[in-house]
């Protein structure tokens, strides 16, 4: 009986080891700072979650381009731990505008790194094969994904666009002279219909081919070794199999995430239990594959719910029971009276956001300590 129990114990121990693979980037030549960030995000996510805000330091509710400012900092005294930027301006524009955008991004990303914060990059990529921008517009937009695969009509154009992405990555440095690590999140919400790379406008195989080419070309041909690659569909799934329908494979992804506004109050509709289950699917997959998990986009426009931060978002994150690296809410528009997702001084949810800020589970920029350095275990 004792021998049998020992065998059973060893069996389940081996299953647990298999089920939780060690954290490892898909780029074996990643910079030391990128490796350190990846490991530190794994470590921090065991007990905490980092708060992020899109375009937090570029502009906010009623202001733009003020050094050292963010709406989150105006409320809490700290910038978000994670700040979102966009590579939207690196294609589909005249050369001088692209170079100007690179200069602005270098400064923004470099400043965040120098303060000890983290940058995540979305890519609202203008259609390279037609007009229509990054959204799909009937009778205007071309199904560009199939035109970008190797050998297709727009493949060389796509390579030229990726060279500008690589140039930005390889010229963005901190004051210490080191290349700044970035969480790169291309083709987000790829399961939806609203972007030209969405599921209704390309096949699964076409999208996966373009994803794998993108990673390989940036990493292996252009020498970009400071990216952490994030996969983030929208919330149009109920099972792991549905979540992974367009997943390019574990060899091509470092972080798994989800964009979910619909379950957390959009248009006044709440289905938080569904949102929690979807978060758990992401977290469970990350655990068994050694990936990072993140709540890559969410938020409630205008935040009319005065306890949304603690009563909805924080409660859902804790109830999901996952190990999430960060949660990011969308941007605060400069001029719109309603299009904002983080509070500013005097907003109705300000007090609740301060409770969210003070909760030991959440981390902001002021809470981060040497995330770009390998920490020795005690």
Of all residues in the chain, the percent with pLDDT exceeding 70 is 94
What's the confidence (pLDDT) of residue 375?
A: 74
Q: Give the pLDDT of residue 22.
A: 76
Which string of DSSP letters, residue by residue, matches 47-98?
T-EEEEEETTTTEETTEES-TT--HHHHHHSS--SEEEEE-GGGSSS-HHHH
Enter the DSSP assignment of 365.
G
Residue 322's pLDDT is what?
83
State both tokens at 15.
Answer: 């299953």
Contact indicator for 181, 170 with CB cutoff of 8 Å: no
Phi-psi region of 68 (alpha: psi -120 to 50; beta: other; left: phi over 0): left
pLDDT at 8: 34
CB atoms under 10 Å from CB of 96, counted, come to: 8
The pLDDT value given to residue 23: 81
- Tens of pLDDT, residue by residue over 15-25, are 344 446 778 99
Prediction pTM value:
0.94
Is the separation of the CB atoms in 245 and 207 below 8 Å? no
The CA distance from 248 to 295, in Å, is 19
Task: Look at residue 3 and tell me whether its pLDDT is greater than 50.
Answer: no
> 163-166: long-range contacts at Cβ-Cβ below 8 A with a sequence spacing of 24 or more?
163/222, 164/90, 164/91, 164/98, 164/102, 165/87, 165/90, 165/218, 165/224, 166/218, 166/222, 166/223, 166/224
Q: Is 60 exceeded by the pLDDT of residue 96?
A: yes
Residues 51/84, Cβ–Cβ less than 8 Å:
no
156 alpha-carbon distance from chain centroid: 27
- The H-assigned helical ranges of the chain are 2-19, 32-44, 71-76, 95-115, 145-148, 155-171, 204-216, 240-243, 272-289, 315-320, 350-358
Domains of the chain, start order: 31-367 (3.20.20.80)
Please determine, for residue 46, whether its predicted confidence score (pLDDT) is greater than 60: yes
d(CA 182, CA 41): 13
Which whole number is the average pLDDT over 145-172?
98
List pLDDT tens digits, range 281-329: 999 999 999 999 999 999 999 999 999 999 999 999 999 988 999 999 9
Distance CA 281, CA 368 (A): 27
DSSP letter (8 states) at residue 195: B
User: What integer pLDDT is reported at residue 55 of this predicted model?
Assistant: 98
**Mean per-residue pLDDT of the chain:** 94
Asked if 47 and 317 touch (Cβ cutoff 8 Å), the reply is no
What is the per-residue pLDDT for 9?
37
Q: Tell me what pLDDT residue 218 has.
A: 99
**Best CA proximity match to 51, nearest among 337, 304, 354:** 354
pLDDT tens-digit readout, 246-260:
999 999 999 999 999
- Residue 120: the pLDDT is 99
Closest CA to 297 of 124, 164, 128: 124
Provide the token pair at 195.
């972007």
pLDDT of residue 20: 64
Q: What is the pLDDT at residue 21?
A: 73
Q: How far apart are CA 246 and CA 236, in angstroms?
A: 12
Average pLDDT rounded to a whole number, residues 105-132: 98
The average pLDDT across 328-339 equals 98
- The 3 state secondary structure assigned to 239-260 is CHHHHCCCCCCHHHCCEEEEEC
């Amino acid at each position: 009986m004792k021998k049998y129990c020992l065998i059973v114990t060893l069996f389940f121990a081996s299953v647990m080891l298999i089920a939780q693979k060690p954290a490892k980037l898909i780029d074996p030549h990643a910079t030391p700072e990128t490796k350190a960030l990846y490991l530190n995000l794994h470590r921090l996510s065991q007990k905490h979650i980092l708060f992020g805000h899109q375009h937090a330091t570029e502009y906010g509710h009623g202001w733009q381009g003020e050094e050292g400012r963010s709406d989150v900092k105006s409320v809490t005294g700290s910038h978000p731990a994670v700040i979102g930027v966009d590579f939207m301006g690196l294609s589909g524009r005249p050369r001088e505008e692209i170079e100007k955008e690179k200069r602005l991004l270098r400064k923004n990303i470099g400043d965040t790194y120098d303060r000890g914060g983290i940058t995540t990059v979305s890519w609202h990529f203008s259609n390279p094969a037609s007009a229509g921008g990054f959204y799909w517009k009937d009778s205007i937009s071309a199904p560009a994904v199939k035109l970008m695969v190797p050998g297709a009509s727009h493949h060389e154009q796509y390579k030229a666009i990726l060279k500008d992405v690589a140039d930005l990555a390889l010229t963005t440095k901190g004051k210490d002279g080191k290349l700044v690590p970035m969480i790169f999140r291309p083709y987000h919400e790829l399961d939806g219909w609203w972007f030209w790379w969405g599921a209704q406008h390309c096949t699964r195989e076409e999208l996966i081919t373009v994803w794998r080419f993108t990673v390989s070309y940036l990493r292996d041909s252009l020498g970009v070794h400071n990216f952490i690659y994030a996969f983030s569909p929208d919330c149009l799934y109920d099972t792991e199999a549905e979540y992974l329908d367009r997943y390019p494979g574990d060899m091509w992804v470092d972080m798994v995430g989800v964009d979910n506004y619909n379950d957390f109050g959009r248009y006044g509709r709440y289905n938080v239990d569904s949102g929690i289950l979807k978060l758990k699917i992401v977290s469970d997959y990350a655990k068994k594959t050694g990936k990072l998990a993140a709540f890559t986009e969410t938020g409630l426009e205008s935040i009319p719910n005065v306890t949304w931060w603690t009563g909805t978002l924080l409660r859902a994150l804790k109830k999901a029971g996952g190990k999430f690296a960060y949660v990011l809410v969308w941007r605060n528009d400069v001029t719109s009276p309603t299009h904002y997702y983080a509070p500013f001084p005097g907003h109705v949810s300000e007090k609740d956001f301060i409770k969210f800020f003070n909760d030991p589970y959440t981390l902001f920029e002021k809470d981060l300590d040497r995330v770009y350095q390998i920490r020795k275990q005690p």
